[in-house]
Amino acid sequence: MEKDEKPTNSNGADVKEISEGLATIWTKGAVFYNPVQEFNRDLSIAVISSFIHDYKQEIKITKKGEAGTEDYKVTILEALSATGLRSIRYAKEIPGVAKVIANDISLTAVEDIKQNVIKNNVEQIVSARHCDASMLMYQHRHKNEQFDIIDLDPYGCPSQFLDSTVQAVKEGGLLLITATDMAILCGNSPETCYSKYGAIPIKIKSCHEMAVRILLQCIELHANRYSRYIVPLLSLSADFYIRVFVRVFSGAQKCKFSATKLSHIYHCTGCDSFTLQLLVTVKSDKSNHKFSIPTGPLVSKHCEQCKHPHHIGGPIWSAPIHSPEFVKKVLDNVPSSLKTYKRIEGILNVVLEELVDVPLYYTLDKLSGTLHVEMPSMMALRSALLNAGYHVSFTHMNKTSIKTDAPKKVVWDIMRCWARTHPVAQKRLIQGTPAFNILSIEPEKDYSFKIHPHANPESRKKGFLRFQENPTPHWGPGCRATIMVGEQKIQKSVRNQGKRKRETSEEGVDK
């Protein structure tokens, strides 16, 4: 086929032409393309660009003098490529990429990739492969054949690819991994989540962060089998999926620390409070490390605040999920030409404000909903925590989120103080309910809701696009072999998008 010749599919009808970033692709409709994922692809371009800059510097320093390190050539594998769009964009938009392999198991997809590569003039950089992703990665698990960067963007769950992925990436290399099976990761069927990810999810308000942490523990466990471990650079929950960016390193000694980065969760079924219990603790004295099993449980049989029982979930990754230094570099270098630049800028600014050592979060609506009280403004609740000497932040995952290092007792005492001035209707205070039990306990002191000078975060003051707008057309993970651009196909889903949200309007929560 000539470069400018437009292909037709078997029944002679035109194929779809799609432009995104610097790429223009054709796809026959049997191959997956989801326009909502443009944010995912834009962000990946920004992350890989920053990563390559640092990675090349590291290679120059650690392998000084070795041949070929002066202008190190980076190779990317897109293991599940569909149309090749992502690979083509990586080749055209990321400086310093020498080679991209765009692989897919579907022959139709590989035909699309080949034709798109020619159309975009990137034959020198991008090559198509038709292979099972795991098989391809196993073929590249030896040192000189590994990839610097591997992108895994599956339908649903990535876990079946992880064993090969953690072996096929170079020392210090980067993995970009998406999971779209959010219902499973967020606790809809714990037994399925266990069989896929090796962890029990909990139905908790901070389920999106728990999902990210389950995926990270799953990648870590796979890496540990080969004396490797991960260092998360950035971990996001966006739209209908999660996406993590992690580096992989080797070292049996370092792997001993993996169990100190994982925790079980005790989750109160009455008030949504949570307590994390590490799998293993470590006491370090210079280079001596003493690992021990902690005693537990860290909670009583019934929650001390609301007297309801706990569920036990996990293990989840409980170490930091982002590297603020890295995120800052990405933010400083995101090309403003990217179509979703504003959203990337907004999310990364919120990420930088997140309390990095505090896993999970409360939500304003759940705290007040549990007590059946009028909802305090976000600024008032954040002020009460700050006035009491604790830290507080949002997370990019939820616009009513409250991440804090304050103990649960303090969080609930603040809500008890709020309830004194915003009393609950007596008819709602039914004996034995979480609200009744929580409000039966007197707060230890009076907490002040006077607006604190730091209650309003910089990202909000500066008016960044911090949280996702209402879902756009085509929103959703799509299914195998879907071009999500046909209006007919999406009409019902569009009609229903945000329906539940509209019914339970969250108006005013960001005040």
Ligand X SMILES: C[S@@+](CC[C@H](N)C(=O)[O-])C[C@H]1O[C@@H](n2cnc3c(N)ncnc32)[C@H](O)[C@@H]1O
- The yes or no reply on residue 85 touching ligand X (CB under 6 A) is yes
Q: Which does 360 bind (CB under 5 to 8 A by kind): ligand X, Zn ion, none?
A: none
Tell me how crowded residue 289 is: count the other CB atoms within 10 A of its CB.
13
Q: Which does 105 bind (CB under 5 to 8 A by kind): Zn ion, ligand X, none?
A: ligand X
Q: Which does 59 bind (CB under 5 to 8 A by kind): Zn ion, ligand X, none?
A: none
Residue 168 and residue 144 in contact, taking contact as beta carbons nearer than 8 Å? no
Segment contacting ligand X by CB under 6 A, of 1-9, 12-20, 75-83, 464-472: 75-83
Q: Which does 270 bind (CB under 5 to 8 A by kind): Zn ion, ligand X, none?
A: Zn ion
Among 36, 59, 76, 82, binds ligand X (CB under 6 A): 82
The H or E element spanning position 150 is strand 147-152
Kindly tell me which of 78 and 148 has the beta carbon lying closer to ligand X.
Answer: 78
Among 109, 233, 347, 388, binds ligand X (CB under 6 A): 109
Q: Show contacts with ligand X in window 140-169 (CB under 6 A).
A: 153-155
- The yes or no reply on residue 220 touching ligand X (CB under 6 A) is no
Among 15, 25, 37, 464, binds ligand X (CB under 6 A): 37
Kindly tell me which of 106 and 305 has the beta carbon lying closer to Zn ion.
Answer: 305
Kindly tell me which of 85 and 204 has the beta carbon lying closer to ligand X.
Answer: 85
Cα distance between residue 62 and residue 296, in whole Å: 44
How many residues interact with ligand X (rule CB under 6 A)?
A: 20
Q: Which does 179 bind (CB under 5 to 8 A by kind): ligand X, Zn ion, none?
A: none
- The yes or no reply on residue 232 touching ligand X (CB under 6 A) is no
> Tokens for 475?
């929103």
Residue 159 and residue 244 in contact, taking contact as beta carbons nearer than 8 Å? no
Residue 237 and residue 401 in contact, taking contact as beta carbons nearer than 8 Å? no
- The yes or no reply on residue 239 touching ligand X (CB under 6 A) is no
Residues within the interface to Zn ion (CB under 5 A)? 268, 270-271, 273, 303, 305-306
Kindly tell me which of 270 and 443 has the beta carbon lying closer to Zn ion.
Answer: 270
Amino acid (1-letter code) at residue 432: G
Q: Which does 80 bind (CB under 5 to 8 A by kind): Zn ion, ligand X, none?
A: ligand X
Cα distance between residue 280 and residue 466, in whole Å: 36
> Tokens for 134?
């795991």
> Tokens for 1?
């086929």
Of the candidates 153, 36, 37, 29, the one whose C-alpha atom is nearest the C-alpha of residue 474 is 36
Q: Which does 306 bind (CB under 5 to 8 A by kind): Zn ion, ligand X, none?
A: Zn ion
Residue 360 and residue 209 in contact, taking contact as beta carbons nearer than 8 Å? yes
Strands 274-278, 262-268: pairing kind: antiparallel
Cα distance between residue 19 and residue 65, in whole Å: 43
Rounded to the nearest 5 percent, the helix, strand and coil shares of the chain are: 35, 25, 40
Contacting positions for ligand X (CB under 6 A): 32-33, 37, 41, 80-83, 85-86, 103-106, 109, 132-133, 153-155
